A and B are shown apart, each in its own frame.
Chain A
């Protein structure tokens, strides 16, 4: 397993380098310039100086190599300095946002907690709802519960989050007045009352995203359970006189979880990616909102860095999913 993991980590390096090049070039080739927000009254020579000050006048491969160096060398050095109080980074140039002139990673550090609390909770809630629903739907296939589950899952699948989100805002915030319409990122949980307020403002985005996540995962769970329910070893378990509970929740479930855990692991990067629409809708000032803002402002370093972080996460969780697979299924051994 260790050899496998190391080999996969080594293989990830060329993959990520290639992805980084593609991302860098794509973003760089996109129309728009960091100066597009600057008024036209600014004389061209001043404009030229501003571009030079940003380093944006350098050839693309120079900027790519410098960016790579910053991403893989300078930024980790700053991170370590922050943790251990060392001075590895010195005063080397960090990746700066063109928009805010602050380091990109500082912005990310500020945004990530919002995203993780809201979107992460939604993902967790989605899993916790979906797994039992999937199990029971499969066990009582074509029952009323299963039909209802299929219907709700179809809605969760097919109705976009900007619609359910708006609907929830109208029902729960405007008509019923239970929850605030906007998420207040400055709220700090210090006591019981502020905790309640945090829960209230999280409720709607978590419900909207949780529904969408639960829809997909419950379907996976159901079909995986159904596939295993008819297997010979299930008959064997019954023939041994195991109770229905043991048969379903031990023998069938353990086998059915193998593909579902993989799907869940592969979905985790999308939490960090942030549900861009939901974050915008509820005013959650998270990483998805940061990405959208950066794209609008042609903040190339920010967009490139964020996109590349998502790529790293996806490659990383692919590896984690593969390793989990090996743990769950004894037939798979990587060594």
Chain B
């Protein structure tokens, strides 16, 4: 994927802090990644690992206060979104960056028709007339596989099932042909058969439309099915980043390995218990000076307490393009 062309999205050193009564919460700590045209980047991590906050920080979707984006650059087509005014940001959202959220049951406005909600971004960003936008709304619903789109477009969200509502959300996100689609756990709230349908639909749409996708999930199975590259997040930082095959076959970070072990196996001998990672993800109350995973890590040693590991390349490629990991420990050291 990284074929030398300039990436669509280039995030460097993004740091987001929440101001709370108990002090600062460092939710995102110097996160960097790139996204090329037509690529699917999977973002994995437990709840509270900073996945969603990272992506919402990109386009100013976090309420401020309490959120403050302290540092970093977010380059989208050469424009630094963190230096953009709120008005500029609102013309990026929905136009160049589309969002699909987790819960389709609550993400659509219950009192407006689906048509009304699809034509809004078309009229705002594409300067379409209401009539053109309505015609486009029917096309979009058709595109995301809603049968009888011309009639269903006049329906209200409550008249659709969960899976169908998520398709409507996808139609809204894709309305203005965005360069980047951010899918924040889009299948988590759906049952498994519907999940598969939505995954299938997204794969098709990517081939047809060629947008880049950031797919946030905590389901590694979903990642294996859709992503080109994977970024594992923990404690608000990137702990491992790799092409999808490398991640599954040669994971370096103890956290990634632990995550992979938690996937229940349906073949082989039946294990007594499901595998879990003991403990809770940390709440970062200051700039991390130690490895955030040390308390739950089997390989933790003195250095992990003293120094927060920086990302280092595993396969010799530049950081963010190949396989890299933020850990002091190496599997090779263990084997040696």
Chain A positions near chain B (C-beta within 8 angstroms): 231-233, 235-244, 246, 251, 254-255, 258, 328-331
Contacts and interface: CB of A to CB of B under 8 A. Distances in A.
B61 A236 contact: no
Contact of A236 (B91, B109, B156): B109
Contact of B121 (A233, A241, A251, A258): A241
- Which secondary structure characterizes the binding site on chain A? helix
B95 A232 contact: no
B90 A241 contact: yes
A100 B95 CA distance: 73
A231 B61 contact: no
Contact of A240 (B93, B106, B156, B158): B93
B111 A255 contact: yes
B169 interface: yes
17 contacts: A232-B101, A232-B103, A233-B110, A235-B101, A236-B99, A236-B169, A238-B61, A238-B90, A239-B173, A240-B93, A240-B121, A241-B125, A251-B112, A258-B111, A330-B111, A330-B156, A331-B110
B257 interface: no
A243 B90 contact: yes
A328 B111 contact: yes
Interface string B110-137: 1110000000110011000000000000
A331 B160 CA distance: 12
Given A237-B109, A237-B120, A241-B91, 14 more contacts: A235-B101, A236-B107, A238-B61, A238-B93, A239-B98, A240-B93, A240-B99, A240-B120, A241-B124, A241-B125, A242-B120, A242-B124, A243-B124, A244-B90
Most chain A CB within 10 A, of B61, B110, B173, is at: B110
A331 B157 CA distance: 9
A241 to B, nearest CB: 3
Contacts of A328: 111
B108 A240 contact: no
A103 to B, nearest CB: 47
Nearest to A229: B63
A254 B107 contact: no
A244 B95 CA distance: 16
Contact of B172 (A235, A236, A244, A254): A236
B92 interface: yes
B93 A246 contact: no
Contacts of B45: none
A104 B311 CA distance: 89
B125 to A, nearest CB: 6
B282 to A, nearest CB: 26
A238 B109 CA distance: 12
A329 B158 CA distance: 11
B7 interface: no
Interface residues of B, number: 30
Contacts of A330: 110-111, 156, 158
Nearest to B91: A241
Contact of B109 (A241, A255, A258): A255
Contacts of A232: 101, 103, 106-107
Nearest to A329: B111
Contacts of A243: 87, 90, 124
A331 B90 CA distance: 30
B236 interface: no
B50 interface: no
Contact of A242 (B90, B158, B173): B90
Nearest to A237: B109
B94 interface: yes
Nearest to B102: A232
B260 to A, nearest CB: 31
Most chain B CB within 10 A, of A232, A243, A258, is at: A232
Interface string B59-78: 10100000000000000000
Most chain A CB within 10 A, of B87, B103, B121, is at: B121
Interface in B130-186: 156, 158, 169, 172-173
B106 A231 contact: yes
A241 B111 contact: no
B111 A239 contact: no
B90 A255 contact: no
A23 B110 CA distance: 43
A241 B88 CA distance: 10
Contacts of B173: 239
A233 B94 contact: no
B192 to A, nearest CB: 22
A241 B172 contact: no
A239 to B, nearest CB: 4
A295 B94 CA distance: 65
B173 to A, nearest CB: 8
Contacts of A331: 110, 156, 158
A248 to B, nearest CB: 13
B17 to A, nearest CB: 20
Most chain B CB within 10 A, of A237, A244, A328, is at: A237
B334 to A, nearest CB: 44
Contacts of B59: 239
Contacts of B94: 239-242
Nearest to B122: A240
A239 B94 CA distance: 6
A244 B87 CA distance: 9
A159 to B, nearest CB: 33
Nearest to B93: A241
